[in-house]
Amino acid sequence: MRIYKIFICALMALSIISAGNVTKAETSANALLAKIERETYGEVREGAILPRLNELEKDYSGQNLQEDMNTRIEALYNILYDNSATPGLLAKLNAVEWNLKHEVNYGGIETRIDILEDELFGESNDGNYISRIRELVKASFGSEDIPMYEIQLPANTAIKVALVTPIGTRDGQVGDAVTVRVIEDVIVDDALVFAKGLYGTGVVDTLKKPNGWGSNGKLIINFNKLTGIDGQEIETCVEYEAINLMTEKNMIDGAALVGVNLNDDWNKALVHGKNLEIPADTELYIQTKSDTAVYALKGGRGSVTLKTSGADENTDDLFDPALGDDFYTKY
């Protein structure tokens, strides 16, 4: 069976917490676990850390790692997000979805796997997530190798996105989280960096409610993070490039989200203290904040190569007991 050395050395140099700081350790561990759960199930589970961690490990690998809690959490995190040796599980799942449907689904990994298996194989399969994603990769790309490689993503690369939910000055508050989704693929040097359907986040920075003296509502959102095809969060902002594109395309509502008025008539309509309400699916542009090294998917849309027989390995038993504590050395 093919063996991948993913990150064993990294497990020896934990950076989640500083030794001896129990409160910080618990907070950091719980925050990281919550991020993994949100990515996996679409929500954060309730309850104590260890039972939740046990369930995640069983879902991903079929067994529990015999290490300290923080090592186990970081191991799961790296399996999802580390692309240095081979694409992480999230990058693989994103690549499969885009390869098959030219769009990445929004939601938990568990649900996304079920949908893909139903569409490819006619039913959802048993087994852990690692082995199931491996089979999806082979069905989609014809082998376990995904053509992803590292590129330099330039600063000020423009991305067209849309609001997932409405936002406005009537019910909104400073600090509210705002979610957007990519609505057009972004290709850099013949490599896909941002795929349609990937999500990003922002936060309400300024919110001014209207008053009866003709002061209209005002809303400014900082769009600060967008997920790439490799599963990494990339820093974003709205500056000259994005504003210029919104101006050229007369994206009035989108520009209003960042405090830019593109139309005097539209602004005059907000008289006598009217709220500013921006509907879902409002389109706007954001841009990358700085030059960033990312992993991108080579070329255009691939073709489905469904392999139904002649498998060259048995993936039912993912781990060799002889490996002992080398928990994630194969996938």
**pLDDT the model gives residue 29:** 84
Task: Pick the closest to residue 78 from 23, 30, 26, 15 (CA basis).
Answer: 15
**pLDDT the model gives residue 215:** 66
Q: Are residues 109 and 90 in contact, defined by beta-carbon separation less than 8 angstroms?
A: yes
**pLDDT the model gives residue 27:** 52
How far is it, in rounded angstroms, from Cα 240 to Cα 234?
A: 18
CB-count burial class (<10 Å; 0-12, 13-18, 19+) for 158: middle
283 forms bridges with which residues in the sheet? 162
How far is it, in rounded angstroms, from Cα 130 to Cα 120?
A: 17
pLDDT tens-digit profile of 229-261?
999 999 999 999 999 999 999 999 999 999 888
Task: Pick the closest to residue 181 from 157, 160, 167 (CA basis).
Answer: 160
Q: Are residues 196 and 185 in contact, defined by beta-carbon separation less than 8 angstroms?
A: yes
Task: Pick the closest to residue 158 from 225, 239, 84 (CA basis).
Answer: 239
**pLDDT the model gives residue 210:** 77
How far is it, in rounded angstroms, from Cα 29 to Cα 49?
A: 8
How far is it, in rounded angstroms, from Cα 284 to Cα 243?
A: 9
| CATH, domain 151-295, list 2.40.128.260, 3.40.50.970, 3.20.20.70, 3.10.580.10 | 2.40.128.260
> Average per-residue pLDDT in the chain?
82
User: What stretches in the chain show pLDDT beneath 70?
Assistant: 1-27, 212-215, 264-273, 300-331
The boundaries of every CATH 2.40.128.260 domain in the chain are 151-295
**DSSP character for 322?**
G
**pLDDT the model gives residue 212:** 60
